[in-house]
Amino acid sequence: MFGERGLGASRLEDIAKRAGLSKGTIYLYFPNKEELFREVVRTTVVAQLEEGERMVSEKATSATETLMEFMRRYWVFIRSSQFAPIFRLIHAEIHNFPDLARFYAEEVVARGHRLITGIIDRGIKSGEFRDVDPAVAARMLTAPFVMHGLWCTHRECFTSVAKKTDEQVLDELMQFYLYAIRPCDANRRALGTGTP
C-alpha cells in the first residue's frame, strides 16, 4: 500500500484491512504508519545489510572476492520487487517525514556505506586496491548500482540497457568499479588477460 498510495496517503486502517487484520490488532503492534514503515525497511533493506555483514565476517576470502560477492548480492536486492517501491518512497516523500529521513540515513545509507568501506579498507591494506578514500569509494559503488537498477526496471525508456540482461549490466558495473579501485599495475595485467 505504501508503494501504491505513497506514505502520506496511506492509512494504517487501510493497511490493516488489506492484511486481514482488525484495526485494533495493527495498532497493538504499530502505533502509527511511520513505525510500520520503519519495520518494512528493517525487514527488507536492513535485513539485506545484516546478511551482507554476516557474509563479510564469515568469509575468509580476499577483499576483491568479498567485494564481488557483495556486489552480486546487492544487485540481486536492487533488482528485487522489494527495492523499487521503498526507493521511490524515500526519494519522493521522505522530506515530509524528517524522523524517517534520519532513520533511513542512519540505518540504511550509513550502515551500507560502513559495510562497503570496511571491505575497501581491507583491500587497501592488503594491496588489492589502490589508496583511495574508502568512504568515498563506498558512495561511488552504491549510486551507479541503484541508478542502473532503476533503469533496468524501465528498459523501454533507457536504450543503454534495453537489450542487456541483468547479468550483463552487473558485469559492466563490476568491471568498471574494480578497474577504478585496483592499482594501475593490476589493471594492466587484467587488460592483458581479460580477467576481472
Pick the CATH number of 33-193 from 3.10.180.10, 2.60.40.10, 3.10.20.30, 1.10.357.10: 1.10.357.10
- How much is the pLDDT for 174? 97
pLDDT at res. 186: 60
Q: How many angstroms separate the CA atoms of 58 and 130, rounded?
A: 24
Q: Where are the domains of the chain?
A: 33-193
Q: What is the DSSP string of 82-119?
A: THHHHHHHHHHHGGG-HHHHHHHIIIIIIHHHHHHHHH
Contact 161, 152 (CB under 8 A): yes
pLDDT in tens, the chain (196 residues): 666 666 666 777 777 777 777 767 776 677 777 888 888 888 888 888 898 888 888 777 899 999 999 999 999 999 998 888 888 777 777 778 888 888 889 999 999 999 999 999 999 999 999 999 999 999 999 999 999 999 999 999 999 999 999 999 999 999 999 999 999 876 556 555 554 5
Q: For residue 145, which of 125, 117, 170, 175 has the smallest C-alpha distance? A: 170
* pLDDT at residue 155, rounded to an integer: 92
Please give the pLDDT value at position 112. 94
pLDDT of residue 189: 60
* 3 state SS for 47-62: HHHHHHHHHHHHCCCC
Residues 12/36, Cβ–Cβ less than 8 Å = yes
